[in-house]
Structure 1
Amino acid sequence: MSCGLARQELYAPRSGPIDIAQWSSTVPPQAIRVATSDQIALSGYFWPGAPGDKDIFVFFHGRGAHHGVAAKYAQYLRGRGDAVLVASYRGFGGNPGSPDRAGIERDAAAFIQTAHKLAGEDARVWLLGHSLGAAVAIDAAAGRHDIAGVITIGAFATLSAAAPWYARPFVPERWNNIDELKRIHAPLLIVQGDKDRVIPGDSGTRLAAATQGPVAYISMTGETHKPPMQTLGPWLSAAIATMNKGQAEPLPELPASWTVVRQTS
């Protein structure tokens, strides 16, 4: 299998134009354009925050999705007045280019830079990623000191471990969240569904054990790889009030049947 074909299989970019009305059921977001360091123009979406609110979420979507799907999830983060920026990657959702790890890293950096500009001085930038997007968020935060915290949903420990055994020799990009977490000292919130069959069941435990800074690992009983954002989004908006203090506890009251697996400050 060629590297180009392997990458297409890995990222499975959903292409074609996006009608945001099909994906957003709340207040429609603003369409924005972001330029990367290698001059790729990317589309994204933005919901402004309440006046004076310095918190801004940057949402990174997963494999086989695009920024329309991400907006469908991210719209539920808006309830407490926080700004929300929906990121996208080259080759997805009508964006030019083809995805690879180096390119996606540039894409993430461009959206983080945009988030700081949008939120202004003293911005508190929160990186939130689902599935592959969790790896993008972790990778983007590693080594930076301008990130308030990282939130992962349905994250794998390593991409090779999440791939079927027969595909592992052909995985062209080595996303290793365990290694990257060693370079993150901002608070980390790990959220996993206990019925998630897309990633290995020990992923959350491995991620929490590898974290150097404050961490909370939340298990959502009965939930799969698809996040229940109508419930999770408002809870995350409340949770960053604790994380703003550089801690991972105490967190807001959990929805019924969700549990704290691990929590350290």
Structure 2
Amino acid sequence: MLWLFVLIVLVAGGGLATLYANQRKLQYFPSTAVVVPADWGLPDFSVVTVTTADGVGIDGWYAPAAAGRPTVVLFHGNAGHLGLRADKARVLRDAGFGVLLAGYRGYGGNPGQPDEPGLMADARAQLDFLVEQGVSGQRVVLYGESLGTGVAVRMATERRVGGLVLEAPYTSMTDVAAAHYPFLPVRLLLRDRYDSLSRIDRIAAPLLVVVAQRDAVVPAALSDTLFRAAPEPKYIVRLPGAGHNDMMEHGLAEVVVDFVATLARPAGRAEPVVIEQERTRGTAIIPRP
């Protein structure tokens, strides 16, 4: 029977080696289609190209803010391309905010292959672009969506910003993978960990966390854990009927716009506060009297 045991070990070992070598193909789901803002109902957005520290040219979509309004930088989730975030961009733009839909390598016609160091380099280059436009510091709100929450948290520890919005955030990608694949040693194998939990205590900006209570991709418990570890001021909104991909249908846009608008108020005005309400959206942000 020793030969059977050895065979099982060899097969299992070979499978894990293959999984380790190909894990990024299993972790990221980019669309390589080349897209432009006008085709997605964003004619007032321009394609802006930045060059990262490692020499990769990355396209993002940008619309400047109205006078005195903040600029929201959206780091999108795992699948698709920038066009699939056009609904969020339009809502933010209609509120008068500037919007930068940050592109990633390997997505939407951008060169390269996505990985954690690369996405961080892409984010830094696009934030540097805003600095060149005279937009930085308190005039910038970082908005991370799912995978992009790991990017947003990291940037919020490296840059001084006016606010941070995290939609369906996780503690780390290893925790998400372990929740879905408890039979695999993902904590040993995973390269791109996006460990937000180890960084969240270093952010120095007001934080909004929005949780989909029926999220089948990022367990809501991970979002709650990350929120508890964050410093004040922080606010959480739970959307009871929402899943990972339909949060816009359950009030996400209104919550985010209210939060960003509150941050943009002149110093000395009311700060946001979260209250419980008896309605399907769960909690809401309102100004303190």
TM-score range, shorter chain: 0.7 to 0.9
AA matched with 2:146? S
Q: Measure the CA separation in 1 of the matches of 2:243 and 2:87.
A: 17
Q: What's the TM-score once normalised by structure 1's chain length?
A: 0.87
Q: Measure the CA separation in 2 of the matches of 1:108 and 1:196.
A: 26
Q: 1:227 to 1:57 in 2, by over 3 A?
A: farther
Aligned Cα root-mean-square deviation (Å) = 2.9
Per residue, is there more helix in 1 or in 2? 2
Corresponding position of 1:187: 206
Matched, 1:258 2:281: yes
Query: 1:195 aligns to what SS in structure 2?
Result: coil
Q: Measure the CA separation in 1 of the matches of 2:34 and 2:136.
A: 34
Corresponding position of 2:141: 126
**Cα shift at 1:249:** 2.5
Contact 1:215 1:248 in 2 (8 A): no
Query: 2:30 aligns to what SS in structure 1?
Result: coil
Matched, 1:92 2:127: no
**Cα shift at 1:97:** 1.0
Q: 1:55 to 1:75 in 2, by over 3 A?
A: same
AA matched with 2:107? F
Greater Rg, structure 1 or structure 2?
Answer: 2
AA matched with 1:10? Q
Corresponding position of 2:132: 117
Contact 1:153 1:227 in 2 (8 A): no
Contact 1:45 1:71 in 2 (8 A): no
**Cα shift at 1:42:** 0.6
Deviations 1:139-193 (A, max 9, x none): 111143x211110111112211111224524322121111110111211100011
**Cα shift at 1:31:** 1.4
Corresponding position of 2:168: 154
Corresponding position of 1:239: 259
Q: 1:228 to 1:66 in 2, by over 3 A?
A: same
Q: Measure the CA separation in 2 of the matches of 1:107 and 1:221.
A: 34
**Cα shift at 1:251:** 5.6
Query: 2:202 aligns to what SS in structure 1?
Result: coil
Q: What's the TM-score once normalised by structure 2's chain length?
A: 0.80
Q: Measure the CA separation in 1 of the matches of 2:146 and 2:90.
A: 18
Contact 1:63 1:131 in 2 (8 A): yes
Unaligned runs of at least 5 residues, structure 2: 1-17
Q: Measure the CA separation in 2 of the matches of 1:123 and 1:220.
A: 28
Q: 1:8 to 1:121 in 2, by over 3 A?
A: closer
- Of structures 1 and 2, the one with the larger relative CO (CA 8 A, separation 6+) is 1
Q: Which moved more, 1:158-167 or 1:134-143?
A: 158-167
Selected match of 1:35 from 21, 34, 51: 51
Q: How does 1:9-28 map to 2 (within 5 A)?
A: 9-22=26-39, 24-25=40-41, 27-28=43-44
**Cα shift at 1:105:** 0.7
Unaligned runs of at least 5 residues, structure 1: none
AA matched with 1:216? Y
Q: Which moved more, 1:241-250 or 1:231-240?
A: 241-250
Q: 1:256 to 1:114 in 2, by over 3 A?
A: farther
Q: 1:229 to 1:112 in 2, by over 3 A?
A: farther
Q: How does 1:129-144 map to 2 (within 5 A)?
A: 129-144=144-159
**Cα shift at 1:39:** 1.8
Q: Measure the CA separation in 2 of the matches of 1:204 and 1:26.
A: 31
